[in-house]
Amino acid sequence: MNDLTTRTISIFGATGSVGTSTLDLIRLDRGKYRVVALTAHSNAAELAKLAKEFEAEIAVVADPEQYEALKQLLAGSQTEAAAGPDQLISAAALDPDWTMAAIVGCAGLPPTLAALKCGKTVALANKEALVSAGALMMAQAREAGATLLPVDSEHNAIFQCLQGGRIDQVRKITLTASGGPFRSWSKEQMASVTPEQAVAHPNWDMGAKISVDSATMMNKGLELIEAHHLFPVGLKNIDILVHPQSVIHSMVEYHDRSTLAQLGSPDMRIPIASALAWPERMKTDCLPLDLSKIGKLDFEAPDDDRFPAIKLARGAIEAGGAVPAILNATNEIAVAAFLKGNIQFLEITEIVSRMVDSYSPPDPDDLADIFAIDTETRKRAKAMIEDVKV
Ligand code: NAD
Ligand code: MG
């Protein structure tokens, strides 16, 4: 990696919650970074605004229909406009020192793999890519000599706690979970929750998809799969603990029974800053942790009956093969359908469970197989949703 004063940087998903938080941190010390690529799904106006402010070399909008709009908005600026999924991959291969992978969903997989191929540093927020193609991604990172820095607050916490020992000295990893907005709700109460209620997370301000995932606790299921790939301690040595205040972001227990935990205010800019400045530390203006104000920290075991998602994810890792990719793709479609008002909240995990039980393609060997499974799962999930549509 280059000297921090000249770090080149790209942000995939620059207009999203993680993307804009990353740019907020860059604003704190603008002179340290040179922005190579910024990308967005379809919001050309927002992307162009950011590209101009950060003097990006290239701005890529995934939706090809937005190309003309982006080109016009960037006319006269120093930023080149590009569009389409292939251009996302080309932009990821521009070889910056540091890339933020913050696209939501499996759509982020191809550019993230391309960024890993460069052999530099990739900060990973895009958990769905790792869930669908974890083995492939980890192999790509190893082969290219890339550094993968976890941005998800729990995984970033574990990464920091692992500075206190070695992975082979770990006895147990504990992923903490807030429990989401319906932590203490009965199934009957959850049956009629609205998208507005589900996206209103008590502690974190996040994009819509991950907020619904937090409400179903599928987010923790996806994070379990994510942790399984990032920290090879064995699935049975990764626990989940509900901790409603979201102050302890995760813990690592070593063989000597020392447990290291990472704490902080529930603000994604803190783990992002840790990845952005790594291996240094940067100053942020985030709220400092005031435990005397918080008073007490609570913990409880997750309830598999009301929140079956964690069990589904554990089963998906044990089954291996295509199952994690099927779980992820079905969940993406089911969450989108719930947000549109087409299915009920509890049906999200029911549909995932039915799909995992009913679709068993052969194990994927490569990326093409994973995409074929992802595409077929989405088709089947949409058909399943048509049947249960409210
Ligand atoms: P978001 O919805 O706010 O932003 C997503 C970004 O990806 C946007 O820039 C959007 O334009 C882009 N995008 C969406 N679909 C795309 C597509 N098909 N092709 C290309 N670009 C596309 O999401 P977010 O909350 O910032 O989350 C991003 C990722 O980070 C997710 O994987 C999420 O699970 C993970 N994450 C988020 C948080 C958080 O606090 N928001 C915390 C931990 C992990
Ligand atoms: Mg998380």
Give residue 99's Cα distance to chain centre.
14
pLDDT of residue 252: 98
One DSSP character per residue, 315-329 reads HHHHH-TTHHHHHHH
Among protein residues, the one with the nearest Cα to ligand 1's atom 20 is: 41
Ligand closest to CA 335: 1
Does the N-terminal peptide bond of residue 279 adopt cis geometry, omega within 30 degrees of 0?
yes
% of the chain residues with pLDDT over 90: 96
Chain centroid, CA 21 distance in Å: 14
DSSP type of residue 233? S
- Whether 4 has a pLDDT exceeding 60, the answer reads no
Q: Which secondary-structure segment (H or E) carries 124?
A: strand 121-124
pLDDT, tens digit, 9 for 90 and up, residues 305-360: 999 999 999 999 999 999 999 999 999 999 999 999 999 999 999 999 999 999 99
Q: Residue 330's Cα: distance from chain center in Å?
A: 16
Residue with token string 């006319």: 75
Residue 384's φ and ψ, nearest 5 degrees, are: -60, -40
What band does 2 get if pLDDT is binned at 50, 70 and 90?
very low
Average pLDDT, the chain: 96
* CB of 103 sitting under 6 A from ligand 1: yes
> Could you tell me the distance, in angstroms and rounded to a whole number, from the CA of residue 70 to the centre of ligand 1?
20
Q: Which pTM does this prediction carry? A: 0.97
Average pLDDT over residues 153-166: 98
- DSSP percent split of the chain into helix, strand, coil, nearest 5: 50, 15, 35
Ligand having the closest approach to the CA of 110: 1
| Ligand-binding site membership of 280 (annotated) | no
The finding on whether 154 has its CB within 6 A of some atom of ligand 1 is no
Cα 17 to ligand 2 centroid, rounded to whole Å: 13
Distance 210 CA to ligand 2 centre (A): 9
Q: How far apart are CA 153 and CA 144, in angstroms?
A: 25
Cβ–ligand 1 distance for 206 under 6 Å, the answer yes
Share of the chain above pLDDT 70, in %: 98
Q: Whose CA is nearest to atom 18 of ligand 1?
A: 107
Ligand 2 centre from 320 Cα, in Å? 22
Q: Beta partners for 149?
A: 123
Classify residue 91 by its DSSP letter: H
Report the separation in Å between the CA atom of 226 and the middle of ligand 2, taken as the mean of its atom positions: 10
pLDDT tens, residue by residue, 60-116: 999 999 999 999 999 999 999 999 999 999 999 999 999 999 999 999 999 999 999
pLDDT for residue 204: 84
Nearest atom (ligand 1) to Cα of 43 = 11
Which ipTM score applies to this complex?
A: 0.99
Spatial separation of the C-alpha atoms in residues 366 and 387, rounded to whole Å: 32
Exposure on the CB side of residue 271, measured as CA atoms within 13 A: 29
Atom of ligand 1 lying closest to residue 125 CA: 30
Instruction: Find the mean pLDDT for residues 121-144.
Output: 97
pLDDT per position as a tens digit, 208-250: 999 999 999 999 999 999 999 999 999 999 999 999 999 999 9
**Is residue 5 scored above 70 in pLDDT?**
no
pLDDT given for residue 276 in this prediction: 98
- Residues β-bridged to residue 61: 40, 83
Q: Relative to the alpha carbon of 91, which ligand is closest?
A: 1
